[in-house]
Amino acid sequence: MQVVGPELDIRAQCEAILRSLPEWFGIEEGLVHYADATLQLPTFALTEKRNAVGFISLNQHFPESSEVHCMAVHREHRGKGFGRVLLEHAEHWLRGRHTRFLQVKTVSASLEDAAYEQTRGFYARMGFVPLQEFPELWDPHNPCLQMIKGL
């Protein structure tokens, strides 16, 4: 296993990972957006024999603060510690650039959704704390929770 990035040209592999997770990436427009973003944003991928099993894309809004734009581990490889490896690698890279805060926006608990409950559980385990809920940032059926951690 090897982490590669932050400049990658493996859009198709990232798209395949997203397509393995329809509970999270079931909206085609969103899926294409996240796959395209792997070509534009700093992205790290965890690869096994040159095949990506997971990736994380980062959006640097300000020098001091960044955002997890998208992160996904292929369904067959979830729960094996790969998400932690990817996130910790990204955090190390950001610290080296003097970035102090990392945020992520995900679906809030106001919407009952077993899939996103797992996502929030992962981010909480990785040290993110809820900062603010934005009920209508995306749309009223998709309430947003902003989580943040200090680097």
Ligand X SMILES: CC(C)(COP(=O)(O)OP(=O)(O)OC[C@H]1O[C@@H](n2cnc3c(N)ncnc32)[C@H](O)[C@@H]1OP(=O)(O)O)[C@@H](O)C(=O)NCCC(=O)NCCS
Nearer to ligand X, 63 or 117 (CB): 117
For residue 84, state whether it binds ligand X (rule: CB under 6 A): yes
Q: Which stretch binds ligand X (CB under 6 A): 8-16, 64-72, 91-99, 129-137?
A: 64-72
* Distance from C-alpha of 126 to C-alpha of 87, rounded to nearest angstrom: 8
Q: Which residue is nearest to ligand X (CB)?
A: 83
Touching ligand X, residues 108-127 (CB under 6 A): 118-119, 121-122, 125
Where do the DSSP E strands lie in the chain? 2-4, 43-48, 51-62, 65-73, 101-107, 129-139, 142-150
Are 58 and 69 spatial neighbours (Cβ–Cβ below 8 Å)?
yes
For residue 151, state whether it binds ligand X (rule: CB under 6 A): no
For residue 14, state whether it binds ligand X (rule: CB under 6 A): no
Are 52 and 46 spatial neighbours (Cβ–Cβ below 8 Å)?
yes
CA dihedral in degrees (96, 99, 100, 105; nearest 10)? -120
Nearer to ligand X, 22 or 63 (CB): 22
Q: Read off the tokens for 114.
A: 């077993």
Which of 9, 49, 79, 141 binds ligand X (CB under 6 A)? It is 79
Nearer to ligand X, 8 or 73 (CB): 73
Which residues make up the interface to ligand X (CB under 6 A)? 21, 24, 70-73, 78-84, 106, 118-119, 121-122, 125
